[in-house]
Chain A
Amino acid sequence: MEIATAPASKAFGPPVSPRSVAQAMARPSRFGDKAFEWLTFAMALTVAVLVVLIGWELWHGSVLAIKKFGFHFLVTSTWDPVADQFGALPFIYGTLVSSLIALLIAVPLGIATAAYLTELAPLWIRQPLVSLIEMLAAIPSVILGLWGIFVMIPWLRDYPFAWLKRLFGWTPLFGGPIYGPCMLAGGIIIAVMILPIITSVSREILRSVPDLQREAAYGLGATRWEATRIAVLSYAKKGLFGAVILGLGRALGETMAVTMVIGNTPQIVASLFQPGYTLASVLANEFTEATTDIYLQALFEIGLVLFGITILVNLLAQLLLRTIATTSATRAVQ
């Protein structure tokens, strides 16, 4: 019965997945088949196990700190391991501000580059440019941090930061002395780290915009830019938002490069020229130095907060990108 229906649907309907054909043909009595299916199933299930494991391990490691500090942990700004005072607010603040700076830089650049790659650039330039962006994505964080310490920061300090101070020194954002390592430098290095992912995901989104959109715009006499803006970018708005959120998720968890350039001082100040600290950097710097149990517990709780924030952001990004993928695919089919 099953065998009879499978080829029929193949002949008339959309392509049948390998699964249904094979299900119809396989003989379930074979031990090898069952064993292999269960083995691969167990392996696939590890992704679910790992999500639970991370959550459980981080909670388990910080349960004492959670009981001791409660909600205050998230809103207290004193971080003094010697006095057993632990508040995560400066790290949460530093993570959010540095990621925000990174997004302000990387989103316009990334989306403009994606639009250039899919709509505006001459054809011969596109593939080499894509390869270069993939290479940028392959540079390890620690190497970007090394370059940040010895090349980027001295240059930033002497030129852009000095200009910014001269122009906007009267605002609280750019007031105070310039040290070099600071919140702004951290944001810039995160921007470099997340540019490849924002660009390549945006490029995929723009590529999935049906050509009919473009043809309609050109048919009405639109220029190249007008077609890009009206028919492509506004059509892909939701997907591009998904790409931005995905970039935010990466920005929040970026560790090595930021740790090397942000200055690592737990404080909440308006000036972007002052050093800051992020959730990920405090883990990188202090984890092996945690001498007391409660110190270690507090660091585990920092890890839990970081995991919580990034998982929420990533869930949102995946949901946004997934609805796009399905709707654009169905539209393309129709």
Chain B
Amino acid sequence: MRLLSCITDRREIPVFRKLGVDEVYFAVGDVPNYANTGALGAAADAPGTIRAAHAHGLKVFLAANGREDRMRDPDREVLVKKIRAIAAAGLDGLIVSNPGLFRLFAGEKIGVPLHLSSVQPCFNSGTARFFVERFGISRIILPNQLAAAEAAGILRYCRSAGVETEIFCYKFFGCPYINGACYLHEPEYYTLSGPQREDGMCRMGSGGSLAKVSPYRVFERDAGTIARTAARLSLRFSRGGAPRLLNASSFFDYCLAGVDCVKYGTRTDGTEAKIRNLRAIREMLRAVSDLAGRFPPEEARRRFVERAGSYGEGT
């Protein structure tokens, strides 16, 4: 299983290589990317980044996964020019989410494999088939809100179609809502009564005091259930969000199911945090391989989960 990491500074490339990273991806400030954070220069600087990654034997991808950026026709021509120039420098893949941009890049034959971003979530094998058959994508980055068991059909289809798959590491993924469609991130769709939290309103719920929750419309009178549900909602909304499907156990199952890559993609982390977290993921992958080789799946999973809290500790 390969390890893919974001980079936000070229100096991270040799360091991450030593940590066992196989592939890197980056964003540039003038190509729309999800959340528009952690840019590594502009499109004109991208060839240098690509050369630096290749010099260290790493594959390198560019995030062009802005899903909701408005683009007038002149901007469209400029974007194609930029991507062509970056492609000519040897880019190994372009991460895309907007269907219009998929059509644009596939139609313009830019000569770079296209990856389906998790921001355009693929939850079923029909969606996988849609993007593979229509746009010829070569990799699917699975959303974190899909259980390993639910992904079986997608993984089967991808193997048969020669399409790679990628998952996020469960430990380093913030938003509990469907990726790319969470408008709690930014206060465009509501009005803040104070300063914006650094990590948005979704990551850990609202924080602060517990939200006041009360029935808004009642469809079926069942006071007991309604009161219990309101209490659960208040706690979840204010303290961490909905339950996570991608946990240590599910991560182990994904690895065993033959997912090709695991991604560390927190572009807002500094280099030191990235190093710490990449070490932890490498340790996890070694543990999966070791345990799966020595124990039956149930027992291997149990042991992996038992040690889940300690991966990356003391390194």
Say whether A associates with B.
no
Q: Contact residues of B with A, CB < 8 Å?
A: none
